[in-house]
């Protein structure tokens, strides 16, 4: 009996289905260890917002431009809210979603390259290589990285646009437009998507420049992009990164650009100078191919890479992160697939050559898989170490009563304040408010006092040399006074704004927490040392601490005029200190000469060389 072929699937479609299945299996194998990573870095901050804010405030936090301190990416906020509704504080579900987003991008790349080239094999090779490249792996391990989500709509818009250009069906136009809008709302780096759509149309679909047609076709996209760029400009004007760290043009742009290109050419993070030699080799090969083939494809890929990395190169070199290459690395995968197709075109008739080629591709994928799996284990360990210093706090306090305030003194890196807040919000909900004197990367307004006693319960935490936490309960009463009256001006444009103490009645063997608030009201030329001395009634110093502000993290010459500097000191009361009344003497001196700075009155006349805070009582 004659076999009837299925009318539903062609040979090419069956190969595509098999390839998609194989690709899915590989991605799931490579990234399944990320399920054990837990939460990392910014994950806590974003999740803390989902845990602590009510729905109207949460929506406003992501959609209101005036509330943005980093960027305008409301699409991620929507996804995170949905995830939080299902997974709450369990990290496994979030990581599964991140893996599935990455898999979706790999499948979309498979479809795109296959549709543009007309070769399923080329699409599969490009997607396979991209799927396992280790250079951007942290973008998949780290759920706060929005690139996988943003790229889903970027690639979807490109795919739908190609279908529209080839079929001229209006509903594909509107689907592509919708994906374009969502791509913009996913991440600001997708602003170059319109250029990609236009070049695909001009160079590969239409084949010639048609001004009237293109104007009509892209005007709506351009209007939306313009509105979005105006919105993003408003956000970035007040955003933390540009104002705190700088986002500008300069030699660092070239330096960052070369480093990113070197990573794309050798995505295994080769050491210098090997990576630059490899980059020169790859660029040389591409130049020869481009001149010989006169390929618009190579030019298009080159433009796409430059556009993809452009937003990241303007950051300072300290913000160089391979995860920013999540989108650009797709070009690496496409170039590898193109190189493979060129090889097969020359040796396709030789069976042994095809076998060797297949083994080489498999070995390459296996090697990258091994490297990426190693990166996953590193992320697992990093996540564990992040949680260790706070594990004891969780064990000590299964719950906190409502309106509890936790203040952290110089939390160990990378426990920046905003991430600490997220960690405790996930654990304790709205019962707990978290703050810290370490707001270097927090993007928050630190220009105010801690206000330890404005809450029902308050604790100050600091970490010892072994990163073990120490807890100081804040006494609700504070009978201390300071003289001269505060705020008080020192010489050299330094103002002492005030202080807060954890208590004035102290037990021997306990800790006294002290927060000093300083401001510069002009340029400070030298670095001055802060002294804090506990002195007995007879004037004898029993203990003290002399150090530059924040343990040297913020020397006085670096103070910005008008910005509050929160200088925390922990004084350990020795067990042998006699009971009785004590006072604190604090001030500033210049270490090379040991000369103290004088407090001055409004006329600039010296009045004292230290500030006195009293009384303190040491009891059993």
Neighbours of 424 (CB within 10 A): 26
Query: Is there a contact between 420 and 436 (Cβ–Cβ < 8 Å)?
Result: yes
Number of domains in the chain: 3
Q: Which of 165-174, 207-216, 233-242, 356-365 has the highest mean pLDDT?
A: 165-174
For 396-424, the pLDDT digits (tens) are 898 999 999 999 888 776 556 667 778 88
User: What is the structure's pLDDT at 485?
Assistant: 92
pLDDT at 228 exceeding the cut of 90: yes
Residue with tokens 């990395």: 309
Same domain for 295 and 403, yes or no, is no
Range name among 329-338, 409-418, 534-543 with the lowest pLDDT average: 409-418
Confidence of residue 432 (pLDDT cuts 50, 70, 90): confident
Q: Using CA atoms, how far apart are residues 390 and 387, in angstroms rounded to an integer? A: 6
Of 380, 399, 425, the one marking the end of a domain is 380
Same domain for 188 and 256, yes or no, is yes
49 domain residue, yes or no: no
Report, as an integer, the average pLDDT of 232-243.
Answer: 74
Report, as an integer, the average pLDDT of 337-348.
Answer: 76
Same domain for 393 and 376, yes or no, is no
Rounded mean pLDDT of the chain?
A: 87
Same domain for 265 and 119, yes or no, is yes
**Strand, helix or coil for residue 572:** strand
pLDDT at 155 exceeding the cut of 90: yes
Q: Tell me which of 460 and 415 has the higher pLDDT.
A: 460
237 domain residue, yes or no: yes
Residue with tokens 């919105």: 231
57 domain residue, yes or no: no
CATH of the domain at 532: 2.60.40.770
Same domain for 171 and 225, yes or no, is yes
Report, as an integer, the average pLDDT of 274-279.
Answer: 84
Residue with tokens 């591709």: 361
Confidence of residue 389 (pLDDT cuts 50, 70, 90): low
Cβ-in-10-Å burial (0-12, 13-18, 19+) of 270 comes to middle
Report, as an integer, the average pLDDT of 170-191.
Answer: 95
Same domain for 244 and 155, yes or no, is yes
Same domain for 392 and 362, yes or no, is no
Q: Which residues pair with 536 in a beta bridge?
A: 582
Same domain for 552 and 485, yes or no, is yes
% of the chain exceeding 90 in pLDDT: 47
167 domain residue, yes or no: yes
Q: Using alpha carbons, select from 140, 73, 75, 81 the residue that is nearest to residue 106.
A: 140
Confidence of residue 439 (pLDDT cuts 50, 70, 90): low
For 86-100, the pLDDT digits (tens) are 998 899 999 999 999
For 565-601, the pLDDT digits (tens) are 999 999 999 998 999 999 999 999 999 999 999 999 9
Q: Using CA atoms, how far apart are residues 322 and 324, in angstroms rounded to an integer? A: 5
Strand blocks (E) in 415-468: 432-436, 457-463
Q: Using CA atoms, how far apart are residues 560 and 430, in angstroms rounded to an integer? A: 33
Q: Using CA atoms, how far apart are residues 149 and 377, in angstroms rounded to an integer? A: 23
User: What is the structure's pLDDT at 171?
Assistant: 94
H/E segment holding residue 154:
helix 147-167
> How, if at all, do strands 432-436 and 505-507 pair?
unpaired
Same domain for 134 and 244, yes or no, is yes
Residue 575's contacts (CB-CB under 8 Å, 6 or more residues apart) are 508, 509
Of 427, 443, 470, the one marking the end of a domain is 470
Of 413, 436, 470, the one marking the end of a domain is 470
User: What is the structure's pLDDT at 167?
Assistant: 92
- Concatenate the DSSP letters of all residues of 349-399 into one string: T-HHHHHHHHHHHHHHHHHHHHHHHHHHHHHHHHHHHHHHHHHHHHHH-S-
User: What is the structure's pLDDT at 475?
Assistant: 94
pLDDT at 132 exceeding the cut of 50: yes
**Strand, helix or coil for residue 462:** strand
Q: Using alpha carbons, select from 231, 259, 291, 274 the residue that is nearest to residue 71.
A: 231
Residue 115's contacts (CB-CB under 8 Å, 6 or more residues apart) are 123, 159, 162
2 domain residue, yes or no: no
Query: Is there a contact between 472 and 394 (Cβ–Cβ < 8 Å)?
Result: no
Same domain for 191 and 294, yes or no, is yes
Range name among 105-109, 171-175, 258-262 with the lowest pLDDT average: 258-262
52 domain residue, yes or no: no
Domain that holds residue 422: 387-470
User: What is the structure's pLDDT at 441?
Assistant: 43
User: What is the structure's pLDDT at 8?
Assistant: 53
What is the C-alpha R_g of the chain? 30
Q: Tell me which of 107 and 439 has the higher pLDDT.
A: 107
Report, as an integer, the average pLDDT of 308-336.
Answer: 88
**Strand, helix or coil for residue 106:** helix
Same domain for 363 and 397, yes or no, is no
Q: Tell me which of 437 and 160 has the higher pLDDT.
A: 160
Q: Using CA atoms, how far apart are residues 221 and 579, in angstroms rounded to an integer? A: 76
What sign for the dihedral angle of Cα 391, 397, 403, 407? negative
Q: Tell me which of 200 and 208 has the higher pLDDT.
A: 200
For 8-67, the pLDDT digits (tens) are 566 777 888 888 999 999 999 889 888 888 888 788 888 888 888 889 999 998 998 888
Confidence of residue 152 (pLDDT cuts 50, 70, 90): very high
pLDDT at 364 exceeding the cut of 70: yes
Q: Using alpha carbons, select from 575, 585, 592 the residue that is nearest to residue 610.
A: 585
Q: What is the DSSP letter of 475?
A: P
Range name among 182-191, 238-247, 400-409, 420-429 with the lowest pLDDT average: 238-247
599 domain residue, yes or no: yes
358 domain residue, yes or no: yes
Q: Which residues pair with 561 in a beta bridge?
A: 520
Same domain for 538 and 571, yes or no, is yes
User: What is the structure's pLDDT at 21?
Assistant: 93
pLDDT at 307 exceeding the cut of 60: yes
């Amino acid at each position: 009996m004659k076999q009837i072929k299925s009318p539903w699937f062609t040979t090419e479609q069956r190969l595509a289905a098999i390839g998609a299945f194989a690709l899915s299996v590989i991605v799931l194998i490579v990234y399944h260890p990320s399920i054990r990573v837990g939460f990392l870095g910014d994950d806590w901050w974003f999740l803390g917002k989902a845990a602590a804010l009510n729905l109207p405030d949460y929506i406003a936090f992501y959609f209101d431009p005036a509330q943005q301190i980093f960027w305008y990416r409301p699409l991620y906020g929507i996804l995170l809210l949905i995830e939080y509704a299902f997974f709450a504080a369990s990290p496994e579900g979030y990581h599964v979603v991140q893996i599935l987003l990455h898999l979706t991008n790999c499948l979309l790349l498979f479809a795109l390259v296959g549709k543009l080239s007309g070769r399923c094999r080329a699409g599969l090779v490009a997607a396979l290589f991209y799927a396992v490249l280790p250079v951007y792996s942290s973008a998949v391990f780290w759920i706060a990285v929005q690139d996988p989500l943003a790229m889903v709509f970027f690639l979807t818009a490109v795919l739908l646009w190609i279908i529209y250009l080839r079929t001229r069906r209006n509903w594909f136009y509107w689907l592509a437009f919708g994906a374009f809008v969502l791509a913009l709302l996913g991440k600001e780096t997708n602003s170059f998507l319109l250029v990609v759509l236009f070049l695909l149309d001009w160079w590969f679909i239409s084949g010639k420049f048609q001004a009237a047609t293109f104007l009509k076709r892209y005007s709506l996209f351009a209007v939306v992009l313009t509105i979005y760029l105006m919105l993003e400009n408003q956000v970035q004007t007040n955003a933390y990164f540009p104002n705190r760290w700088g986002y500008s043009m300069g030699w660092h742009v070239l330096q960052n650009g070369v480093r990113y290109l070197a990573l794309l050419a050798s995505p295994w993070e080769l050491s210098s100078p090997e990576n630059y030699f490899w980059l020169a080799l790859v660029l040389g090969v591409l130049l020869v191919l481009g001149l010989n083939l006169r390929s618009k494809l190579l030019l298009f890929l080159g433009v796409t890479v430059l556009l993809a990395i452009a937003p990241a190169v303007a950051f300072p070199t300290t913000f160089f992160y391979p995860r920013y290459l999540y989108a650009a690395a797709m070009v690496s995968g496409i170039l590898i697939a193109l190189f493979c197709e060129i090889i097969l075109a020359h040796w396709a008739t030789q069976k042994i050559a095809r076998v060797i080629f297949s083994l080489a591709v498999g070995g390459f994928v296996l090697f990258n898989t091994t490297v990426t799996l190693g990166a996953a284990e590193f992320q697992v360990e990093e996540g564990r170490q992040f949680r260790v210093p706070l594990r004891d706090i969780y064990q000590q306090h299964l719950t906190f009563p409502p309106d509890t305030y936790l203040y952290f003194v110089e939390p160990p890196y990378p426990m920046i304040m905003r991430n600490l807040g997220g960690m405790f919000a996930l654990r304790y909900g709205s019962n707990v408010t978290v703050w810290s004197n370490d707001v270097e990367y927090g993007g928050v307004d630190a220009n105010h006092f801690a206000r330890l006693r404005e809450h029902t319960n308050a604790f100050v935490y600091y970490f010892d040399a072994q990163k073990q936490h120490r807890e100081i309960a804040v006494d609700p009463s504070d009978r201390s006074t300071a003289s001269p009256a505060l705020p008080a001006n020192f010489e050299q444009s330094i103002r002492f704004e005030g202080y807060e103490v954890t208590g004035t009645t102290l037990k021997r063997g306990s800790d006294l927490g002290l927060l000093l608030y300083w401001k510069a009201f002009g340029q400070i030329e030298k670095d001055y040392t802060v002294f804090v001395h506990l002195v007995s009634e007879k004037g004898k110093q029993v203990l003290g601490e002399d150090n530059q502000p924040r343990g040297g993290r913020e020397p006085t010459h670096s103070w910005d005029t008008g910005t509050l500097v929160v200088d925390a000191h922990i004084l350990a009361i020795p067990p042998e200190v006699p009971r009785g009344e004590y006072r604190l003497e604090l001030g500033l001196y210049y270490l090379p000469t040991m000369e103290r700075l004088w407090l001055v009155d409004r006329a600039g006349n010296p009045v004292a060389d230290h500030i006195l805070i009293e009384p303190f009582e040491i009891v059993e």
